[in-house]
Structure 1
Amino acid sequence: MSTTLPSGTPPTLEERPAGPRARIRRGARLTALVLGVVGLLVWGLLLFAWMIDETHFDRPSVELDALAAQVDRLPGVSQVQTDRWVEAPAFAIPTSWLSAVVDAAALPRLLRAACSTAHPEPLTWSLRVLTAADAEVALHATSDPARGAGGDRLCLDFGFDAMALVHELDRAAPGLAIQPTVLDDGGLAFIALDEEAPGGFSRLLPLVEHAPDLISAAGLDPNIQVEISSADLDVQLAPGESDAYLVLLTRLADDLAVRSFWSIPAGMGQDRVDKVQIVAPADQHTAIEDVVGASGLRIAGAPIGFIEP
């Protein structure tokens, strides 16, 4: 008796039912792939969070520690602190920072030491200078050994004559904590570092009065604009406006109970026009508008927004 076999070609390896070992291998590969994708996603989210939060990852160095010790030994210098870190996503280029408190009389010695340092990396210096008249001046600059080839490439360039300006602030604005900064447009800004005072902005009027002297001490062009900024005062003094602004602000503070005054130059507001915002009682609004309008300043015709104290 004969038997006829089914016709057709035999199944390929791919067509044959998988054996137990093959199924295990495929499952393992799939699990590894899923875990890899999840791991990349988690790492990406973590990296993004570090970037948004600007998380610092410490990278201490012997050279920075040695420089800090050298600075700390200088007479009149105290509270020396350093930090060196990297940030996501590169984790490669370190940022180095050194801060110190220095007596005004010791500032020249510290600046000479900065010029002579052999620190091999860019370094941001943050100095808090204490003067004889209880003024505090915050100075910030970066030394960079890769900047130029001259012997002064490590010297701190603040954009102005730091020692002369500290001396003038000590004379003109005793008791104030101020950070002078050169603006992108070449102007000079004085930022008050104290909190809003109960008595309003009157404490800052010496900066308005002596703005031309401060520019001269800084060694800058006398025709630049000066900005004075704090929590309760923000004004931009064009050349020749110092005296008129002093008269206006003194009258507003002493006679019309103005606590805060902010002038907003054209280009910063949505309407592209000069604006003024003032904190003052409602019963003084009309008188304030009259005084500002008669000031002869650029803001004389600017709209005034009032905020109740």
Structure 2
Amino acid sequence: MGIVVIGAVFMDLKGYSTSPYIPSGRNAGIIVQNHGGVSRNVAEDIANVELKPTFVSLVDDNSMGEDIIRKLDRHKVNTKYIRRLPDGMGTWLAVFDHEGDVVASVSKRPDLAPIGDILDQQGDEIFKDADSIAVEIDIDKEIIKKIFYYAEKYQKDVYALVSNMTIAVERRDFLRKTSCFVCNQQEAGILFSEDYESKTPQEMAEILADRIKSARISRMVVTMGEYGAVYADSEGNYGSVPALKVDVVDTTGAGDAFFAGVCMGLTYGKTMEEACKIGTRLSSTVITTSENICPRFMPEEFGLKPVQD
């Protein structure tokens, strides 16, 4: 079954300013449309390392939804548990400045309740042979409850990332059940009610090692943009991994690719440092084009075990 990824699909509409962005003015540029969504991105990134994930999600019941499923199929994602529904997908509208950073965005989230129905009907089939589970911890609470029910039933590790940290903060009991939680520096500050903006990677790693003990989170990774990422576990181990130097076009999807790398690494026996290095390599490949596409790799390039058909 590979890694089971659960979450939403979005269509991303992205406008890029080709000159210095003027917030109150008209900005000349280009507009592109891509398949998106944190969980969809993660599933595709895992598939691009030939590890054949299973994706549990929803798409629109139209040609656009079918196009998304066909693309995932081509990437060798198991799409058996994707349900077609009216308004099954969300939409993300974003504007980027000439340096590739988001300066404005609006998001329309889909109703994910039908995913709960999929889990009710086919949960045992989905989770029994899973290698691990990857999920956005801030999706519908009832869905998260069902995921952890099956994770505990079949003793599967759950790896979590977040889209909305204000929601995740209210779910500390779920975070304590995860095998690893991944977020960025700002989100970590929200979680622990502190300001980490000026911290160096070394300082951040030491702080993280202390904070996860009191929070009772077993393992956690915090990304720090151009400064790389830091990690810590509840046994007192911690460290940092530097970012790779690349020419940035669009940072969208970098965090998703990083999480996919960490999830793959930990699922298939790598250390925290090794998993973060895999995530760093993957994230560096998706920010060099406006399509945010992770190139194809073989699992052996990362020392990972291929998933058999």
Both structures adopt the same fold (TM-score exceeding 0.5): no
| Structure whose CA Rg is larger | 1
Give the TM-score taking structure 1 as reference length.
0.24
Q: RCO (CA 8 Å, sep 6+): is it higher in 1 or 2? A: 2
